[in-house]
Amino acid sequence: MAFPAYGLTHRATATGRRGMVASGHPLASLAGVRILLDGGNAIDAAVATAAALNVVEPYMSGIGGVGYMHIYSARQKEHKICDYVGLTPAATDIDMYVEESQQDRGPMSPLVPAACAGWMESLRRYGTMDAADVFAPAIELAEGGFALTVKNSSFFAGSVNDLRKYPSSASTYLVDGRCPEPGEVLIQQDLAETYRAVAADGPDVFYGGAIGDVIAAFMAEMGGLLTKQDLIDNKPQWLDPLGVDYRDFTIWAPPAPCQAIQYLETLKLLEGFDIAGMGHNTADTLHTFIEAVKLACIDRIQYATLPDSPTAGLLSDGYCQQRRTLIGETAAVSMGDTFRTEQQKGEVAPGDPEPWMKNECTTHFDTIDAEGNAVACTQSLGSGFGSAMVVPGTGITLNNFMRWFDNVDGSPNAIGPSKKNEMCVSPAQVWDKDGLRLLIGTPGSYGILQTTPQMIMNVLDHGMNVQAAIEAPRLKATRNHNVDIETRIPADVRGELERRGHQLSELGDWSAGVGGGQGIHVDPDSGAFMGGGDPRRDGYALGC
């Protein structure tokens, strides 16, 4: 088959045969493509892209952050997920967090920065190139500088006040204390040197060596909890992906406590409806989607972080058939994205997946090569520039993923020592019986869990090409009856949703508030690649 032409696009769709990279910035995509053209595979290209994104999207992700890299190895014919989501420091105690701001920014907000270990472990297991060659494009960008885009500057602007609080952050990212403007050149010499050290000496220099010493000393000086031992104890994990059948495809994503179980359950609930027959972004389709999200969301809140999360039950045909009957003609009340002790009248409640266990078992980027190796990766610093703290002399911005814990006793996702949080970053791979068809994902915090299934449905249910699927207008259900919605969804559809009880907050025609997706579609007949990048941010796909 040829790639579908259905769907409106505002930028040219990229194609390729040797390989492709779709990422959140054109220079990062170019870094990955350079590696492919130099003979590297998709995993080499993925690490090169990840490192370059740290340079050109420093507010989104980086070596001081966390993520999941979902790898398919063509030679080993295996799926594996490199989990580089760091734990909380061992000294963490929920009683230490008196003010919400302590989770949001500053020295008590970082998890162990695990991205460095994840990148290097992925290269060790599946890569083909020397680390020095893989990091070379990012080092060039950091050392030589890059010109900021309009969207770069706008993302910087939202964090200026926080960056000013820390001299090392201000000197790294601000120009005389102000937000850099579009076209100004940002040089990150310290980060370039950190990359050189990691490429030469491996991850030990970051965790047990000289860089780890600097991180630990800075944290101690600033009153943080992260110690040298926390760094030394960090180890990336190799996980098997979690899959769910949807139509004639299987959607693969990281397992719990990754929050991907929410969008997998959402899709499984929607499998019982004729989404294609309802039509793209009609009131019936969107209402059904919103109500399915509410059911899947409350189940995710209840079960994702349990030691033995009952995911097989949550995603089983029988359980989803039972839960599907709760979707009515009017809007139900939603708890929202996080655990709350109070329950409102009419609020959807979690189901009981246990009986079904017996019966059935944020930047994002994608890379692929001609051999069939493929990577879908979502990684993050948390908020813009994470903790807003740059470790002096290293260029490393530390994450603030303590914010994604609940400061509520009794929550399954409550703050605690050496603990993995309920992680929102959740890349997807879509396969059919003959092979890989789609790599896709998005940034967007909790919105990832709603943007991802909308993009997947656009391809699988509505026959869109990947660029159109990413550009199509979307929405995000929040708390109570509230729904954030892009206004490219027609006024009559919005009016009907309101009649059914949804309270709409209009975001304008294009909003980064509903993510910034990237994807690669694989043609089942020719094996050619088509890539998509989201114009809501600086997303760009490049093929070769």
**362 tagged catalytic:** yes
| DSSP H or E run through 454 | helix 448-460
Residues 387, 381: Cα–Cα separation, whole Å: 8
> Which among 88, 288, 362, 378 is annotated as catalytic?
362
CA angle 234, 240, 243 (to 5 degrees): 135
User: Helix H segments across 271-342?
Assistant: 275-278, 283-303, 311-314, 317-324
- By CB atoms closer than 10 A (0-12, 13-18, 19+), residue 90 is middle
- Cα distances from 53 to residues 276, 326, 344, 505, in angstroms, run 36, 42, 42, 31
Q: In 3D, which of 318, 306, 304 has the Cα closest to residue 359?
A: 318
357, 313 Cβ separation under 8 angstroms:
yes
**What whole-number distance in Å separates Cα of residue 420 and Cα of residue 443?**
20
Nearest to 493 by CA among 276, 277, 287: 287
Residue 207 backbone dihedrals phi, psi, to 5 degrees: -105, -45
Q: Which residues are within 8 A (CB) of 76 and not within 5 positions of it... i.e. 6 or more apart?
A: none
- Annotate 302-315 with three-state secondary structure: HHCCCCCCCHHHHC
Helix or strand run (H / E) with residue 22: strand 19-23
Strand, coil or helix: what is 237? strand
Task: Identify the burial level of 340 via C-beta atoms within 10 angstroms of its C-beta, where 0-12 means exposed, 13-18 middle and 19 or more buried.
Answer: middle
The answer to whether the CB of 321 falls within 8 A of the CB of 356 is: no
Report how far Cα 275 is from the mean position of its chain's Cα atoms.
Answer: 25
Catalytic residue annotation? 362
